[in-house]
Chains A and B, each alone.
Chain A
Amino acid sequence: MTVSDDRTTAYARAMFDVARAEGDLSRIGDELFRFARALEGSDELRDALIDPHLPASRRQQIVEDLLGGKANASTVALVSMAVGAGRARDLPAIIDSLVAMSAAEANKSVAEVRSAIELTDDQRSRLGAALESATGKQVDIKVVVDPTVLGGIVTTIGDTVLDGSVRSRLERLKQQF
């Protein structure tokens, strides 16, 4: 394990402990997970948050402007803390490690669900049950709204990918040409 991995794990552990202490680990984990995926998908946002020429307060202000009123205050505080500490570049890995810790504590596996639209609670519940039935594992669903899938859902559990997206259908069709 490298020094960077050690730091990532240490930050993840600290954020995990804070989220658990707040008593809303699942929601905070979901919000952090979505923010991590948004950060991965936006070069502009990532460049702004890791820009060393911007003062930390300015970068934290960007986080608060983005998440304020839309996410749990604890989520905003955790992200702001990591960005203020200059760990924005490692934030996706830190959050993934935090989510893995959360799932492991509940003896679950993280199921990353990418959907073109937001899922309802009923759909999340039924999808979780279906995934647990299909994989034989307890799963902790983390939904990411991703318009690039066009339609349908792509679920990733560890190394297993269950792809039911329109995008993959079009890709298969392209392969048949």
Chain B
Amino acid sequence: MPGAMIRRTLGAAALLVGLGFLTAAPLAAQEAEGEPEISHASEECIHLLEDGGEIDDCQKAPNQLVPEKNEVIWGAFGFVVVFGFLTWKGVPAIKKTMEARTERIRGDLEGAEAAKAEAQTVLDEYRAQLADAKAEAGRIIEEARQAAEGVKRDQEARLQTELAAMRERAAADVESAKTQAIADLRGEVASLAIGAAEVVVGKNLDRDTQTQLVEQYIASVANRN
């Protein structure tokens, strides 16, 4: 596991740094035990006087940015130790981790590529299905349109037939009504005429005429044979 390895490496580096400080402190204490305790400022003043400086130079404030020499030596030593340890253990671990990460990223990329290809395949299939669906929909719509056209033509034909039949019936009804009206009128005229004739005949049929009609009837019956 790269993460665990990095954590172990960093832990070891911190341990080494801590050991460096622990070893530097006793050495400094050992130096102090061998000679009478002189302050750092006095020691620097002595050095200045030995180098031909004047006493006034001792009154100047030391440079706070420049560390002690032994501190620089031990610090450099610790740095080298830590750097060497890190180079010895950390770099391979980091390299291994990076390689694993690279492999993982490559695998992820390949997976993504495969997924992309698969998605592309699915997309192509979807597009093909969509195209088929569109074609099917177009075919269905065309069939529906043709069916609707057929129904429309049939309805128009039936409507025309019914209209023709209705016109024919209407014409026949009109003709029948006309004929009936003429017949009724004729019958009415006939009834009026016959009624008038009956009145006239009834008034003009006197006894002699009635007798003559009876005689004609008797003669006609006798002559039936």
Number of interface residues of B (CB under 8 A): 28
Is B64 positioned at the interface, with any CB of A under 8 Å from its CB?
Answer: no
Interface stretch (choices B99-107, B116-124, B131-139, B186-194): B186-194
In the docked arrangement, what's the CA distance between A134 and B220, Å?
Answer: 10
Given contacts A116-B205, A117-B211, contact A170 B218 (CB under 8 A): no
Which residues on the B side are within 8 Å of A153 (C-beta)?
213-214, 217-218
In the docked arrangement, what's the CA distance between A54 and B187, Å?
Answer: 45
Min Cβ gap A132→B in Å is 10
Is A60 positioned at the interface, with any CB of B under 8 Å from its CB?
Answer: no
Across the interface, do A155 and B221 meet the contact criterion of CB distance under 8 Å? yes
In the docked arrangement, what's the CA distance between A162 and B216, Å?
Answer: 13
Count of chain A to chain B residue pairs whose CB atoms are closer than 8 Å in the complex? 77
In the docked arrangement, what's the CA distance between A164 and B222, Å?
Answer: 13
Is A174 positioned at the interface, with any CB of B under 8 Å from its CB?
Answer: yes
Across the interface, do B221 and A127 meet the contact criterion of CB distance under 8 Å? yes
In the docked arrangement, what's the CA distance between A166 and B194, Å?
Answer: 11
Interface size range on A against B = 20 to 34
Which residues on the B side are within 8 Å of A152 (C-beta)?
213-214, 216-217
Given contacts A150-B205, A170-B201, contact A177 B213 (CB under 8 A): no
Across the interface, do B194 and A164 meet the contact criterion of CB distance under 8 Å? no
In the docked arrangement, what's the CA distance between A174 and B194, Å?
Answer: 7
Given contacts A123-B218, A133-B222, contact A150 B211 (CB under 8 A): no
By a beta-carbon cutoff of 8 Å, the part of chain B in contact with chain A is: 186-187, 189-191, 193-194, 197-198, 201-202, 205, 207, 209-211, 213-222, 224-225
3 smallest CB-CB distances across A and B, nearest first, come from A177-B190, A130-B222, A164-B217
By a beta-carbon cutoff of 8 Å, the part of chain A in contact with chain B is: 115-117, 119, 123, 126-127, 129-131, 133-134, 150-153, 155, 162, 164, 166-167, 170-171, 173-174, 177
